[in-house]
């Protein structure tokens, strides 16, 4: 069977062509077609063990067992030490991962948006292997869930990729990330794997309904990345199997909905934990621990936030602070690994502020009865920097293309934010802006392209 696979920074989805030759998204969890890009493991050491059990190809499995022999021995020791039974489920993906993390945040290993890390420069081989295992475990479980619904095996797939996985690192970073996606997909059981630029995938879905040729600026603002492409589309182009010449320009960077959440958590919620407060000598509290806490898409920041040196710094801040009770909450956030949960609260607040002027955020997990009101004005102020980066990418791609597009096609869940949508429209003047399926257009385009390649 053939499928399109959107392994996204915020959500994952799988699409197939149905009997009516229309794209159909496959429910992956209950009736949900979009699965949050999250993984929870009872122990970090058990992730590679889970992957080893999942690989069905004998040669590939033997090679993997040899490459991960040290990690697998450590996994066996961890299972024995923690009393985890052989039949006990150790890996959870999507909503189940979030539920397990919220129930026991201080235990286990939780990661959100692992795709955001795939192009990070300077990773050691063991770190690359670890991210491969995370992606493989997620892809396998998503593939299995789709196959149960379809009652058929998915053998061939096209997976979406951003134009640039990182703002820095260049093509080497892109090759590293694409390599991880390829190897993970093969270990997850796909026989054929191709990658396609996500903005082109979104455009392909829109192009299916065009009756005349157009030059289109595609703006895809996802959870982890923003991609902009100027593409020639229409009846004369959609019959082609090689679309490289139709790309007039493209730009992309690691900025998206996750950055809006992080900036809102920093500006809107961290004051509850003391940010912006004063020491007893009148000096302001250091802000870096607060920024590191919410930077859940940045490995060095997370390492620093959880370091012994930073813990000692926060303890000293608490002793010297005018409001030590707020610093106690920051220390609790660190010890119980609740920083992911805080950013998730910011994400839910962002969604609410799309239609409401203010929102009372429930922070009961930090302290019983604790809440905090955030206004839309504060949200728009908090996200000014990432939104500016998004419009800069639009300006960059238009400069590359050296032409004025006939229309702008916007997609990606982050474009649902009125502040982001307004910024896009304001920059483009009188050019028509067409809204795509905010969440499903990339998956639909990947599915159409997979059908064209493999059928």
Per-residue pLDDT at 3 exceeds 60: yes
**Distance of CA 119 to CAs 220, 305, 306, 422, Å?**
19, 21, 22, 30
Nearest to 441 by CA among 238, 196, 202: 202
For domain 213-255+389-436, the CATH class is alpha beta
The domain locations on the chain are: 2-190, 213-255+389-436, 258-384
Residues 102-111: b if buried by 16+ CB within 10 A, e if exposed: eeebeebbbb
Mean pLDDT of 100-121: 89
Q: Does domain 2-190 have CATH number 3.30.420.40?
A: yes
Q: What does the pLDDT look like over 264-305, one tens digit per residue?
A: 999 999 999 999 999 999 999 999 999 999 999 888 899 899
More confident residue, 20 or 138: 138
**Distance of CA 228 to CAs 27, 223, 266, Å?**
29, 14, 27
Least confident of 130-134, 211-215, 434-438: 434-438
Q: How many CA atoms lie within 13 A of 262 on its CB side?
A: 23
Per-residue pLDDT at 451 exceeds 60: yes
Which residues, in sequence order, are CB contacts of 331 under 8 Å at separation 6+? 311, 314, 315, 318
Per-residue pLDDT at 394 exceeds 80: yes
- Please report the pLDDT score of residue 254 as a whole number: 86
Mean pLDDT of 390-397: 95
- Please report the pLDDT score of residue 428 as a whole number: 84
How far apart, in whole angstroms, are the C-alpha atoms of residue 287 and residue 292?
Answer: 9
Give the mean pLDDT of the chain.
93
- Please report the pLDDT score of residue 153 as a whole number: 97
Confidence of residue 359 (pLDDT cuts 50, 70, 90): very high
Mean pLDDT of 306-322: 97
176 close to 118: Cβ distance less than 8 angstroms: yes
Largest CA distance in the chain: 72
CB atoms within 10 A of CB 388: 12
> Structure pTM?
0.87
Q: What does the pLDDT look like over 161-220, one tens digit per residue?
A: 998 887 555 789 899 999 999 999 999 999 999 999 998 899 898 998 899 999 999 999
Per-residue pLDDT at 436 exceeds 90: no
Q: What does the pLDDT look like over 437-446, one tens digit per residue?
A: 878 999 999 9
- Please report the pLDDT score of residue 287 as a whole number: 97
- Please report the pLDDT score of residue 168 as a whole number: 59
How far apart, in whole angstroms, are the C-alpha atoms of residue 213 and residue 210?
Answer: 7
How far apart, in whole angstroms, are the C-alpha atoms of residue 110 and residue 381?
Answer: 30
Identical fold for domains 2-190 and 213-255+389-436, yes or no, is yes
């Amino acid at each position: 069977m053939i499928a399109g696979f959107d392994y996204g920074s915020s959500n994952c989805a799988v699409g197939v062509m149905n009997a009516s030759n229309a794209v159909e998204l496959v429910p992956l969890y209950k009736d949900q077609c979009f699965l949050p890009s999250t993984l929870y493991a009872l122990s970090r050491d058990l992730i590679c063990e889970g992957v080893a059990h999942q690989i069905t190809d004998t040669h590939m499995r033997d090679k993997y067992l040899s490459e991960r022999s040290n990690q697998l021995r450590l996994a066996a020791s961890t299972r024995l030490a923690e009393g985890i039974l052989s039949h006990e489920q150790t890996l959870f993906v999507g909503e189940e991962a979030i539920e397990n993390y919220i129930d026991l945040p201080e235990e286990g290993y939780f990661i959100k948006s692992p795709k955001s890390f795939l192009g990070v420069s300077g990773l050691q081989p063991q770190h690359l292997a670890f991210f491969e295992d995370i992606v493989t475990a997620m892809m396998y479980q998503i593939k299995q869930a789709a196959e149960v619904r379809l009652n058929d095996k998915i053998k061939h797939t096209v997976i979406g990729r951003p134009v640039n996985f990182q703002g820095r690192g260049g093509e080497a970073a892109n090759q590293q990330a694409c390599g991880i996606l390829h190897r993970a997909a093969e270990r997850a059981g796909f026989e054929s794997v191709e990658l396609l630029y996500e903005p082109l995938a979104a455009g392909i879905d829109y192009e299916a309904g065009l009756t005349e040729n157009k030059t289109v600026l595609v703006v895809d603002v996802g959870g982890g990345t923003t991609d902009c492409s100027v593409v020639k589309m229409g009846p004369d182009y959609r019959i082609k199997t090689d679309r490289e010449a139709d790309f007039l320009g493209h730009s992309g960077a690691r900025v998206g909905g996750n950055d809006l959440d992080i900036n809102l958590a920093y500006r809107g919620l961290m004051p509850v934990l003391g940010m912006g407060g004063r020491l007893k000598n009148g000096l302001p509290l250091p802000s870096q621990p607060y920024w590191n806490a919410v930077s859940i898409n940045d490995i060095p920041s997370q390492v620093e936030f959880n370091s012994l040196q930073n813990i000692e710094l926060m303890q000293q801040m608490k002793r010297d602070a005018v409001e030590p009770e707020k610093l106690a909450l920051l220390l609790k956030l660190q010890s119980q690994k609740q920083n992911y949960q805080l950013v998730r609260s910011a994400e839910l607040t962002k969604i609410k502020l799309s239609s409401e002027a203010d929102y009372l955020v429930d922070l009961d997990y930090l302290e019983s009865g604790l809440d905090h009101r955030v206004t839309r004005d504060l949200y728009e102020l908090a996200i000014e920097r990432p939104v500016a980066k998004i419009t800069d990418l639009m300006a960059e791609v238009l400069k590359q293309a050296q032409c004025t597009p006939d229309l702008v096609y916007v997609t990606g869940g982050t474009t649902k934010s009125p502040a982001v949508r307004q910024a896009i429209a304001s920059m483009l003047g009188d050019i028509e802006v067409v809204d795509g399926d905010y969440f499903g257009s990339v998956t639909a385009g990947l599915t159409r392209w997979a059908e064209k390649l493999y059928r």
